[in-house]
């Protein structure tokens, strides 16, 4: 018993230290999802459901689900899990009307390594600013495992960190000054603010632990 008690105390102290560290790292972040329902979300609320603390895109419906508040400069963190061949998108600074890939900004959420996507363009890979900035590949976890992602949008500077690896670090104004990679017009690319959302394309994708911190002083 004398040996067990010190070990128990050390374990408890370690747990407290870890919690303190996590709280320090998350200081200033506000959750966008309560883990229970879609309160605060608008758009295709019937195309998504909540299960086991995650927002799940219904593969039979999908559509565009947006958070009801607009954001400008922010640090967004979340986790996501893909099924084989999964295809979704993260909208930022987007209106709720029209195509977010062009009227706002879409960051790809895609099972890039699936056979059906072997012929995609570099700007279509997971994490890419769709049509504008290609992301580095090879950092997604195996299908069925949870990935962590962070998106920092500070002015025209967009940074995407996937599982601890920076896969996009670009100025979108600079990247598009001579035209976009897909040759399409992106009238919303330089939006100052807009909605954050998930853009379902008929496959199951899960999102959880969604939180955000404003970068505006």
pLDDT digits (tens, 9 = 90+) for 163-203: 999 999 999 999 999 999 999 999 999 999 999 999 999 99
Q: What pLDDT is recorded for position 5? A: 43
Residue 161: inside a domain, yes or no?
Answer: yes
- Residues spanned by the domain of 184: 31-214
The structural domain count of the chain equals: 1
27-31: list long-range contacts, CB under 8 Å, 24+ apart: 28/213, 28/214, 29/75, 29/77, 29/211, 29/212, 29/213, 30/211, 30/212, 30/213, 31/210, 31/211
pLDDT digits (tens, 9 = 90+) for 96-115: 999 999 999 999 999 999 99
Residue 26: inside a domain, yes or no?
Answer: no
* Mean per-residue pLDDT pooled into runs of 10, the chain (217 residues): 43 40 65 98 98 97 97 98 98 97 98 96 98 98 98 98 98 98 98 98 96 89
Residue 184: inside a domain, yes or no?
Answer: yes
Q: Of 178, 169, 194, 171, which Cα lies nearest the Cα of 101?
A: 194
Give me the CATH number covering residue 148.
2.60.120.560
Residue 2: inside a domain, yes or no?
Answer: no
């Amino acid at each position: 018993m004398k040996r067990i008690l010190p070990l128990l105390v050390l374990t408890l102290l370690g747990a407290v230290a870890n919690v303190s560290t996590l709280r320090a790292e998350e200081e200033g972040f506000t959750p966008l999802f309560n883990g229970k329902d879609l309160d605060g979300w608008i758009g295709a609320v019937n195309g998504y459901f909540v299960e086991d603390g995650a927002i799940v895109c219904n593969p039979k419906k999908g559509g565009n689900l947006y958070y009801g508040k607009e954001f400008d400069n922010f640090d967004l963190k979340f986790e996501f899990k893909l099924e084989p061949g999964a295809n979704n998108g993260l909208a930022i600074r987007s209106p709720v009307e029209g195509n977010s890939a062009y009227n706002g900004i879409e960051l790809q959420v895609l099972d890039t390594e699936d056979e059906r996507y072997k012929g995609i363009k570099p700007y279509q890979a997971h994490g890419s600013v769709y049509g504008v900035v290609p992301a580095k590949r090879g950092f997604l976890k195996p299908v069925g495992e949870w990935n962590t992602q962070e998106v920092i949008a500070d002015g025209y500077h967009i940074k995407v960190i996937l599982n601890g690896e920076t896969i996009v670090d670009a100025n979108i104004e600079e990247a598009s000054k001579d035209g976009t990679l897909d040759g399409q017009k992106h009238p919303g690319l330089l939006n100052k603010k807009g909605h954050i959302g998930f853009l379902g394309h008929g496959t199951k994708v899960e999102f959880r632990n969604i939180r955000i911190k404003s970068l505006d002083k």
